[in-house]
Structure formats: structure tokens, C-alpha cells
Amino acid sequence: MFTIDRLPFVLPQPPLLSSENAGWEEIQLAIFREPPHEIPKYRSQYHTICINLGSSVTLEQCIEGSSGEAHSSWGDMSFYNANFWQTFRWNRETEFLQLYLEPKFLQQISNEMGITQSLEEIQLLASSDKLVLQMALALKNSLEDGSGCKLYATSMTRSLGIHLLSRDRANNNDRTSGLSQKQIRQVTEYICDRVSVAVRLIAYHPISVYPS
């Protein structure tokens, strides 16, 4: 069961919002607003998408011994593989949203798509992706208004996984089992439709995330 206390890092401030009590399984969400800070080296059991929801910030990171520095603005994002050693430091107060994806669920989608590569070898996410941002904000809104049921989160997670893996196929369509550009467009259009329908459903048929 997901709890903030079980995350493998400690931050100065508790999350502004989390899915801790929402009953979600394949994906979890937390939003933090934190002062300048350094996170010591750790490994996470989840694949993690981190999205900047605050002002511009300089982020220093070291992933599996590879160090780098990035200037992150609102909407910028990164994907971090599960079980990779990582450490982070930022130079000013920042607000960020983190999505935690269950590796087994993403691997299941990868298998269904016929991907034979290890997920560690796949470039899943660019520094900015409007569709991923839309999905993340839809999940955030569903928690805020109490409509984020388990079925909604699972459906959104599946669409997110397909999109992430399809991006890699689009960038490497010369693979033997790769999707064509036409198929990529069809998948993306399908995901966009699913997101729009899901957002309309939670607007007109709110469902409480808490058990009665």
C-alpha cells in the first residue's frame, strides 16, 4: 500500500496533495512545495515522472553516477527509472508534481505492445510533453474535487503508459516490431479522446475517492 512515509526520501515539507488515501494501485501522485534542498542518494521502487509546477529552478542531479544540471520551468518534466541510484539538489523554493508508476504495470503494457527491450534502455519522455502534462493535471484535479476513483486512475495510467512507450516507438520506428507513424498518430488521437472523455465524466458524475 502506498504511503508518503514509505517513499525512499525525506523532504522538509509534507505534500500539498497526495493519492495516499485514494485507493489507486498502478499509479500514485504527490505534489510538493519545498525550499532549497538536497536529497541524498536513494533508489525508488517506482518509475517516477517529475513535473515542475512552480517557477524556474536550477536542478542538479546524479543518476546512476551520471551528473548533470538543468534549468527547469513550469511544465518541464523528467522520467526516472525505478531502482536507479539518484540524488537531487535545487537552488530555490520549487513546486513539483510526481507520478509514481508501478513497474509491473508498465512492463505489462510494454509486453502487450511487443516491445522486447528493457525499459531501462528506452527514452520514454522528453523534457516537455503536453499530453503527459494534461494527464497529470487531470489526475491532480480528480484528487482535489474528490472524483478520482480507482477505475479512472487505472484508465488514465494505461493511456499514459501507452503514450510513453509509443513516443519511443515514434523516435525509433526502424525497429523490427515498431509501430508506423500512422499507428502512432492513431494511438495518440485515441489517448487524447480518452483523456477528454474521462475529464468530462468526472465533471458530470463525481465519485468520492473515500470509502463510505
| Cβ proximity of 102 and 26 under 8 Å | yes
- Measured CA to CA, the distance from residue 11 to residue 23 in angstroms comes to 23
**pLDDT value at position 70?**
87
**pLDDT value at position 191?**
56
Q: Which CATH architecture has domain 4-204?
A: Sandwich (2.60)
**pLDDT value at position 208?**
40
Question: Quick check: pTM over 0.85?
Answer: no
C-alpha cell of residue 203: 465533471
User: What are the boundaries of each domain within the chain?
Assistant: 4-204
**pLDDT value at position 152?**
87
**pLDDT value at position 198?**
52
**pLDDT value at position 124?**
57
**pLDDT value at position 207?**
40
Report which of 152, 147, 40, 139 is spatially closest to residue 99, judged by C-alpha positions: 139
Q: Kindly provide the residue ranges of all beta strands, DSSP E only, lying in the chain, ordered along the sequence.
A: 17-18, 27-34, 37-42, 47-52, 57-63, 66-72, 77-80, 86-90, 94-101
pLDDT digits (tens, 9 = 90+) for 140-196: 999 998 876 888 898 899 999 998 888 765 555 544 444 455 555 555 555 556 555
**pLDDT value at position 211?**
38
Backbone φ and ψ for 118, nearest 5 degrees, come out as -70, 145
What stretches in the chain show pLDDT beneath 50?
Answer: 174-179, 202-212
